[in-house]
Chain A
Amino acid sequence: MSSTLESADTRTDGSLDTRGLEQFSTPWLTVVWNDPVNLMNYVSFVFRSYFGLPREEADRLMLLVHNEGRAVVASGNREAMERHVSAMHGYGLRASITRADA
């Protein structure tokens, strides 16, 4: 996040432009939703392959999706989350982007 602070504008009165900071400090999330089609071993394998997660973590997230209906699988800036969601749609998983405070 160091680049975030560096890029924050310093106003002439010396105060920080907090609009910029807010935008960066509220991360976006990639959420994967349960659906009746996708197979449990496939979902876990996608999480391992795409996010490079160890098996235990991939299985934990997959079970969250299955049992709770959804799981947050990534957080960060909006562009990165859109890349993840696009990739998940490519795999046929139901995924969406949301703000962390939504």
Chain B
Amino acid sequence: MTAVEVTDAGRVQLTLEPDEARMLADLAEQIEQLVTEAVDDPAFDRLFPPAYRDDAAASAEFDRFERAGLAEGKAGAARTVMSGASGGDLAEGEPVRIELDDHEIWAWMTHLTDVRLVLAERLGIDADDGGFELDDEMATLVPLYDWLGWLQAALVDALESTTEGA
């Protein structure tokens, strides 16, 4: 059973089923490759949106200075998730328990955002109402997209509860 809890010590603890952990590690690896390879991708408009909406030259200049650092930040977050979700030496079928410090939980939250940004591009999600049409193969990604959103919201709530009154 997937769970996000706050431990007695005030740390956020994530429990994942082995399949979920494997899938998250797999997605993280794909995102890491996507942002570090020098190949342009349609999802880049969402991962690295233009800094100046009406000024392509200024946006290109911004990218020249900022893109590498942003990509490295996203790749680093993906690696944090990959190593956490890989879970070490666990017995077959054991749930993966990951305790996250502040740095790691931000890596998880920003990474889950990046995964959902890429999935949204693949799924053609452009508006809040979710009005999009999919072929059967793509439709199988919708529950994943929703589950990632649920996980991210749970992490935000958990981190919020540990910082409340701090």
Contact of A90 among B70, B117, B153, B156 (CB under 8 A): B70
Contact of B160 among A45, A85, A91 (CB under 8 A): A45
A1 touches B (CB below 8 Å): no
Q: Mark A20-38, 1 if CB is under 8 A from B, else 0.
A: 0000000000000011111
Evaluate whether A89 and B120 lie within 8 angstroms (CB atoms) in the complex, with A39-B149, A41-B157, A45-B159 already known.
no
Q: Mark A66-79, 1 if CB is under 8 A from B, else 0.
A: 00000000000000
Chain A residues near B13: list those with CB within 8 A: none
Summarize A's interface: helix, strand, loop or mixed: mixed
Q: How far is the CA of A30 from the CA of B60 in the complex (A)?
A: 17
Closest to A44 in B: B156
Evaluate whether A39 and B114 lie within 8 angstroms (CB atoms) in the complex, with A90-B73, A97-B51, A98-B52 already known.
no
- Expressed in whole angstroms, the minimum distance between the Cβ of B122 and any Cβ of chain A is 12
Taking residues whose C-beta sits less than 8 angstroms from the other chain, chain A's interface range is: 20 to 34
B95 touches A (CB below 8 Å): no
Chain B residues near A37: list those with CB within 8 A: 46, 113, 116-117, 120, 125
**Pair A96/B117 contact, Cβ less than 8 Å:** no
Evaluate whether A98 and B149 lie within 8 angstroms (CB atoms) in the complex, with A41-B156, A91-B110 already known.
no
A to B CB contacts below 8 Å, 20 in the list: A35-B46, A36-B127, A37-B113, A37-B116, A37-B117, A39-B152, A39-B153, A42-B156, A45-B160, A86-B51, A86-B62, A89-B49, A89-B70, A90-B73, A92-B47, A95-B49, A96-B49, A97-B62, A98-B54, A102-B54
Chain A residues with CB under 8 Å of chain B are 34-39, 41-42, 45, 82, 85-86, 89-92, 94-98, 102
Given A89-B51, A97-B62, 18 more A-B residue pairs with CB atoms under 8 Å apart are A36-B125, A39-B156, A41-B153, A41-B157, A42-B109, A42-B152, A42-B156, A45-B160, A85-B51, A85-B62, A86-B62, A86-B69, A89-B49, A89-B70, A90-B70, A90-B110, A91-B110, A92-B117
